[in-house]
Amino acid sequence: MLNVGLTGGIACGKTTVAQMFVRHGACLIDLDKLAQAIVAPQLPAWQEIVELFGNNILLVDGSINRNKLAKIVFTDKEKLKKLNNIVHPRVLGEWSKSLGDIEKKNKKAIVISEVPLLFEANLQNMVDLSILVVISPEEQINRLMTRNGLTEEEAKKRLESQLPIEEKIKMADIVIENRGAPAETEKIVAKVWKELLIREENKRKNYFGGK
């Protein structure tokens, strides 16, 4: 099995690229969805977050208002750190479990783990290789403003909470440019998929004697 960490800056199109890999046959683990699941109402992580930030971050149904919480933590690094300390260990546990479940079913699987903070959280050792999706910072800001209803200043603060894209490019094994039309990105993904198939086969031969 090959575990590929897919990452990128905010609003760079990670999820779109991940779905392209799924269409080629990849298994997908979305760590953002894992995070949403562990902070469901009344679960331990939810209780810790409410205790830390108060009931004013809750929606009527008791779930956490993610946009409201984001506005708080992206303007306060200490609160962001505390939130991450609550969420990250639990997400990593669920991630490891998901990987194990997939491998039991298919030892030849290629898993795309969509990890927004792969480099920021130093999780490179959790994957066999990393893929970085990139667009220009200006386009990221525009997408954030449109998608999340943020002001330009709020969008810039979100970008500043992550590593600069230049640093991520240096750390990534593979870079996918997502600046053009979807058809162009599809071509890049198809080429990368062929490389992943080769890497998975080579890893299996090295570890399991070709089985």
What structural domains and CATH numbers belong to the chain?
A: 2-206 (3.40.50.300)
Please tell me the predicted confidence (pLDDT) of residue 77. Answer: 86
Name which of 104, 111, 78, 102 is nearest 3 in CA terms.
111
Q: What is the pTM assigned to this prediction? A: 0.86
Asked if residues 178 and 133 have their Cβ atoms less than 8 Å apart, the reply is yes
Token pair for residue 128? 């066999």
Please tell me the predicted confidence (pLDDT) of residue 208. Answer: 53
Please tell me the predicted confidence (pLDDT) of residue 160. Answer: 81
List of the chain residues with pLDDT < 50 = 210-211
